[in-house]
A and B are shown apart, each in its own frame.
Chain A
Amino acid sequence: MKNLNKSTQKLITTILTIFVLYIVMQVMEQTGNLSSLMSGLLVPVCAYSLVAVGLNLCVGYLGELSLGHAGFMCVGAFTSAFFSKTFQGTIPDVPRFILALVIGTLAAALFGFLIAIPVLRLSGDYLAIVTLAFGEIIKNVINVLYIGMDGNGIHFSMKDMMSLGLEPGGTMLINGPQGITGTPRQSTFTIAVLLLILSLIITHNFVNSRTGRAVKAIRDNQIAAETVGLPITKYKLVAFTISAAIAGVGGVLYAHNINSLTATTNNFGYNMSIMILVYVVLGGIGNFSGSVVAAVVLTLLPELLRGLSNYRMLIYSIVLIALMLFNWAPGILKFREEHGLTGAAIIGKFKKNKEVQ
């Protein structure tokens, strides 16, 4: 492990940690030590982590603030759930889920690509506002979509269920604000963890490749990047599309974990976009492992604090502020550095102890 560089070492540490946590969770679940509430959160936690990793690629490496990643998650969720529901009787379970995963990811990537073309001409606040609007548009369009299937094929309307004119035996695939019901629940904790690890490897490899270096160069200094011959637009598009695709994977997991998938403000609206941005900022901009940690802690925290009833959100906010100060306040950073409380220093100590043994 000595000749590997720092970021590769960190990736391996993160993957090992996730793996250990996965084993612990599995054992606890098998032995009945996990409350149903907690076990119900396992897949969503991974889904949110995935979206946070995707957004971190956009915020930390492309250097552009997107407030629309819940929108890409939504696209991934609905296209994959739609596919799974449509072919529920015709394609066997496993290949259907794999196809749903591919379709959800590609659809999110396609939307990312299409949105990026006009949006990446903007930067800073303007980009944030446009992506925010995009997320809302996606959510609202899905709320007026009515798609049904009967013997004659697929029927589509944006008015109401009646106007589809379905035959008596027909099924509703997407039912406006009620969304998609009866999606097969195929997102297991194992699949979710595997996809999360895969996304961490992909993002790590991406930012340490030729393309990733170019993306970082554009972030650091666009004019200088142009004068050394980098095609700016191309690499911005590539990074944004990959970022959206990873958010789409999170959406696929999310959709195949619940019975009825609806697009509301809480799951795919700006609330969620902001929540994911909080994971990214709190976990450290440009730090993929940090995004996962923040997503896990901040998803579990409100549930663990449930006993405090009304004070729950108050405590939650205070914890957020405290964590933010711990991570970013210059005075506290200095204190941590002097007293060996930084992540690197702690890992360093841990390693030394190991070597001594």
Chain B
Amino acid sequence: MALLSVTNLGISFGGLRAVDGFNLTIEEGELYGLIGPNGAGKTTVFNMLTGIYKPTDGKIHLAGKDITGGHTAEINKAGIARTFQNIRLFGDQSVKDNVKIGLHNTFEYGTFTGVFRLPKYFSTEKEMDKKALEILAVFGLDEEADVLASNLPYGKQRQLEIARALATNPKLLLLDEPAAGMNPNETADLMNTIALIRKEFGVTILLIEHDMKLVSGICEKLTVLNFGRVLAAGETSAVLNDPEVIKAYLGE
């Protein structure tokens, strides 16, 4: 059974049909790319998958469970985590705390325990610190654990956002333009990081990207969106050589 299966997904904003008849099937462990020109509706698809937008029609199933139109927090608990095109960190909190917020639903103690510092507070916080530092170490961010998130350089902010998403222990990770604004060196680093987290966390990844080098380098399958509709889908090399796709990207 596919990990994610999306059938006939569509959304309208007033008279504008932003996404129409969108289909997508992702098997467990795949690294899947979603590409398309600007304004094609890629981020809108992500927003529907994570419950930020409620789709007008269509169905989304995660590991066989219907999550269509569910609440964002519930969808995260079901197993989808994401990053954002315009980075959304908790800027006024430390790098470690950002990851600990991602661990919120894994390690639990109540408000009362926290306010009155019962023994469970100390033991759970200690475990959370340990786990958070483990995750940060994968990204080489453990040295900066106590730095304010907003003070990190741009590339590291992107990595922290991925670390925070992984802390929620997702089955499927959605990356929205992870290489946006990065130089070629940083992009190469990012490709290594993505390969590393697939290995370390065993997570399935769906990513939106414009950087063709990154897409052709790491994605196994692609879906191309254009004007809210699927233009092509399949193995990466086949899709990238499709004349329709070349036309949409480069013009005639």
Binding site for B on A (CB under 8 A): 202, 205-206, 208-214, 216-217, 219-221, 223-232, 238
Contacts and interface: CB of A to CB of B under 8 A. Distances in A.
Nearest to A221: B88
Contacts of A209: 109, 111, 113-115, 121
Interface of B: 50-52, 71-73, 76-77, 81-82, 84, 88-93, 97, 100-102, 104-105, 107-111, 113-117, 121, 124-125, 128, 164-165, 167-168
B93 A220 contact: yes
Contacts, number: 96
Contact of B165 (A206, A228, A231): A228
A189 to B, nearest CB: 26
B102 A213 contact: no
Contacts of B102: 228
B93 A228 contact: no
B114 A212 contact: yes
A350 B128 CA distance: 35
Contacts of A238: 111
A230 B115 contact: no
Given A217-B101, A229-B104, 4 more contacts: A210-B108, A210-B124, A228-B168, A229-B168
A225 B101 contact: yes
18 contacts: A205-B116, A205-B117, A206-B111, A209-B113, A210-B100, A210-B108, A210-B124, A211-B114, A217-B90, A220-B91, A220-B92, A223-B52, A226-B72, A227-B72, A228-B168, A229-B73, A230-B104, A238-B111
Contact of B93 (A202, A217, A226, A231): A217
Contacts of A212: 114
Nearest to B108: A210
A220 B150 CA distance: 11
A229 to B, nearest CB: 4
B94 to A, nearest CB: 10
Contacts of B125: 210
A307 to B, nearest CB: 43
